[in-house]
Amino acid sequence: MAETVLGVIGGSGIYDLPGLEKAVWTKVEGPWGEPSDEIRIGEINGLKICFLPRHGRGHIYSPSDINYRANIDAMKRCGVSDLISVSACGSLKEEYEPGTFVLVEQFIDRTFARPKSFFGKGCVAHVSMAYPVSPRLVDHVEAAARAENLTYRRGGTYLAMEGPQFSSLAESHLYRAWGCDVIGMTNMPEAKLAREAEICYSTVAMVTDYDSWHPDHGEVDIQSIIKVLHENAENAQRLVARLARDIPRKHETCPVGSDTALDYAILTAPEARDPALLAKLDAVAGRILNE
């Protein structure tokens, strides 16, 4: 079994993880352009941790401007086997109050301005997204949340919208009618690309507000969101640090095939594949292309 390497993509609140040692900001270069930032690589109790600020230090990238392919490629090049996405979200359910951590199970992708695949003309691949998160990884995240006495809910559907504007009232009501639980702007195509890169993925969606549907809260208030974000920061640090301490050091096989997603996904005949695209896929698809 391979060694576990824990990746974390998130915001400024978890730059300084409790117990993180030997931490160094490291530039990771790849063929998909520049990632959002350097990756802070360190260790907790001997476990390698790779942290990437999704929006860049100082929050310089909007959700639509993030280079998701470069971010996931960089994580793969660092050897990440298990990736935790920590991100703010709005609640579409009364019971998902601000401050709650939601361990998402499903996604609906409503983004439209972002490249969503590493594959394309010259090397076509179709991966399954029926089960986009790794349940075994979610088990470990849930155990960490429980151990730290955090308020959390397991399950639910994350609606990924394009942004950067928040939802209209009509949109918010529509997404509630669809049965969605939380809404955010960053977990797609991140989850799809992690799947293509054969990285086990799990979302920790931190509720900051009730979107615009709630009659007692009205429109989204960015000042209130920032206040809750700061309040969540310490809890997010504790969650990730506990997960890093407790997760098995040997990577466990994913029961829904996250780590073998490319086994039968590539359809282009070997002799018809574009060498230039194959070169860009060296990290993401090296396991299957080098067989």
Nearest-angstrom CA–CA distance, 107 and 159: 6
Identify the helix (H) or strand (E) that includes residue 8. Answer: strand 5-10
Active site residue 209: yes
User: What is the DSSP secondary structure assignment for residue 4, as one 8-state letter?
Assistant: P
Would you list which residues are annotated within the binding site for phosphate?
12, 54-55, 87-88, 186
To the nearest 10°, report the CA torsion of 80, 131, 104, 88: 60
Six token digits for residue 272: 């018809």
Which is catalytic among the residues 37, 73, 109, 211?
Answer: 211
178-204 burial code (b ≥16 CB/10 A, e <16): eebbbbbbbbbbbbbbbbbbbbbbbbb
Would you list which residues are annotated within the binding site for substrate?
185, 209-211
Identify the helix (H) or strand (E) that includes residue 48. Answer: strand 47-53
* Helix runs in the chain, H state only: 68-77, 135-147, 169-177, 190-196, 222-246, 275-280, 286-289
* Residue type, position 181, single letter: D
Which is catalytic among the residues 65, 209, 221, 246?
Answer: 209
DSSP SS3 for 83: strand
Would you list which residues are annotated within the binding site?
12, 54-55, 87-88, 185-186, 209-211
Active site residue 65: no
Residues assigned a catalytic role: 209, 211
